[in-house]
Structure 1
Amino acid sequence: MKKFLVLSLMSLLSITPAMSATAEKVIGATVGDFADLSRESLKPLLEKKGYKIRIVEFTDYVQPNIALAEGSLDLNIFQHRPYLEQFAREKGLDLRPIAEVPTAPLGIYAGKLKSLAAVKDGSTVAMPNDPTNLARALLLLADLNWISLPKKIDPFKVSPLDIVKNPKNLKIVQLEAAQIPRSLQDVDYAIINGNYVVSSGMSLTSKLAPEKSNAYINWAVVRSKDAQSDFAKAVIEALNSKEFQAYAKNKFKGYKYPSTWK
């Protein structure tokens, strides 16, 4: 009997790591490129390491962070660092970015007017209504010399109230970022986040002009308490692996790639 008990305990100990390794991990990503890279490459790479992965898709920028903080997700991929920091501060969330991911740049796209040269007095420009991406959009308009902003300003907190000159009398239409591609027939121009360009079936190469800043590359994010977990380390390794880099450079041409890639 003692021999049987010892063998049984040894058997249980031998399967415990495998059981823990196969505990399901849930990754949340916005529809389009981030959901694609999560499903097509990150998931298989993590499953090779023994993790069971489920992908959940979101159509907005609010719920993925709430779900992560509440424990419904173990990781999310959809946001740049300025947005994360502002959102976490406003909502009191303890989240941390752990690895950069390929990012489609924000740009201005043709609506009813098909070129930048066609801009006219009173032209309408749709742009994201969340504060960080709204600031990015306004900076893009300033780069085009369509508006003027103060020389000294926090680039992450620019709002329409900061516009000091608007010689073309542009009318700014603020919309939920995911809805902007559907607004193209109603406005003259639209400033769209790259992932929503892709998910709507548009081409990144059709943009009339890109943003100049490199500050808005996107990140994989976890709860701060899990930043040193085995799963977080596995995610970092996978997102910087040669396999993932090869996949991303083939799949996401024209994107901004992580600074950690060589």
Structure 2
Amino acid sequence: MPFFATQTTSSFRRKITVGLGALAALALTSCGLTQASSTEGDASDKTITVIVTESAPYQEPTEIARELLAEDGWELETTYVTDIVQPNQVVSQGEYDANYFQHLAYLRQFNADNGTEVEPAFSTYYQPSGIFSLQYDSFEELPDGAEISLAVDTANNGRGIKLLADHGLLEIDESVPVTELSQADIIDNPKNFQFIEIDQQSSAHTLTDVDAGFAFARLVAEAGHDVHDVALALEEDDDVRRPYTNVIAVQPGEQDSEKTQALQRAYQSPEVQEWFAKYLDGAIEYNDDITTENAQEIWSEFTAE
């Protein structure tokens, strides 16, 4: 998975050296990240460090949260990144207090694949997804052998497959949950669709290169398309809502900490809720169902599935 440059906003500038080698040595070589946790346990510490995806649904609510936290005497130090690997690594290592970039399904899969220990603290929004096409207006128009893009990461890979199966275009093993579904679970592909797996963040921009593709509705809207005009199908199954709810995540047991409680008050504030209602005409849904009070119970149930 490629890595990209980072942007940092804080009272001092922190530099993250990106690259696969840097990740492996992050805990040992990154002085800036070590400093972020150097005051851990200090009751007078009023600084919260958060690593965040550099895109609007994460960045804008974070800037609102920064202002609200400042009113209560907290300083929010933020590092904005464009990859989806660093945030869990540095929170698991205790170098950041929290991250904001992922849904529950991705977090569960990342922990399993990487041996990290990161848990949800509270939720912020649910992001609907779908199958979109810039060339065809319906599934019926898709030709035999059509090229269809899917998210390459395991947590999202099955969402496109399930949508195609729900509309009668594939036969799949129905016993496999959507969070674990993959091409290996396709029993019959009568139209001989050719699947291309791509990075989820590129999904909307690569729609011009395929006949149809799975993408987050938000990314499609941000790419300048009318979501409903180019959608062949949107997710409507309630079973996918919980796994794909986005959360602020922390180290295990930190849900009850003073810092996490302060973050929740800011991110689950009326100001943030209002921002989500206005963004892209409500293309993504504000969601505060998960809180610091129920997060560990929900996470235990979710990881036991």
TM norm structure 1: 0.82
1:236 and 1:203, CA in 2 relative to 1: closer, same or farther beyond 3 A? farther
Secondary structure at the aligned position of 1:64 is classed as: helix
Correspondence for 2:241 among 214, 221, 228: 214
Check the 8 A contact 1:74/1:222 in 2, yes or no: yes
Instruction: Read off the aligned partner of 2:232 and give its amino acid letter.
Output: L
1:199 and 1:34, CA in 2 relative to 1: closer, same or farther beyond 3 A? farther
Q: Distance in 2 between matches of 1:25 and 1:254?
A: 29
Report % sequence identity: 26
Within 5 Å, give how 1:121-136 maps onto structure 2.
121-136=144-159
Verify: 1:232 aligned to 2:260, yes or no.
yes
What does residue 75 of structure 2 align with?
Answer: 52
Check the 8 A contact 1:99/1:239 in 2, yes or no: no
1:48 and 1:198, CA in 2 relative to 1: closer, same or farther beyond 3 A? farther
Verify: 1:172 aligned to 2:199, yes or no.
no
Q: Distance in 2 between matches of 1:33 and 1:259?
A: 15
Secondary structure at the aligned position of 1:232 is classed as: helix
Q: More deviation in 250-259 or 85-94?
A: 250-259
Secondary structure at the aligned position of 1:181 is classed as: coil
Q: Distance in 1 between matches of 2:165 and 2:217?
A: 19
TM norm structure 2: 0.72
Gapped regions of structure 1 (runs ≥ 5): 1-15
CA RMSD of aligned residues (A): 2.4
1:54 and 1:259, CA in 2 relative to 1: closer, same or farther beyond 3 A? closer
- CA deviations on 1:230-256 (whole Å, 9 max, x unpaired) are 110112222333332223223351323
Within 5 Å, give how 1:1-262 maps onto structure 2.
20-21=45-46, 23-39=47-63, 41-206=64-229, 207-212=231-236, 213-215=240-242, 216-251=244-279, 253-258=282-287, 260=289
Q: CA deviation at 1:124?
A: 0.8
Secondary structure at the aligned position of 2:45 is classed as: helix
Instruction: Read off the aligned partner of 1:187 and give its amino acid letter.
Output: V
- CA deviations on 1:4-44 (whole Å, 9 max, x unpaired) are xxxxxxxxxxxx97x622x25233224232222222x2222
Secondary structure at the aligned position of 1:117 is classed as: helix
What is the count of residue pairs matched by the alignment?
A: 243
Q: More deviation in 210-219 or 167-176?
A: 210-219
- Structure number with greater Rg is 1
Check the 8 A contact 1:25/1:51 in 2, yes or no: no
Q: Distance in 2 between matches of 1:173 and 1:112?
A: 17
Secondary structure at the aligned position of 1:208 is classed as: strand
Secondary structure at the aligned position of 1:155 is classed as: coil
Q: More deviation in 187-196 or 87-96?
A: 187-196
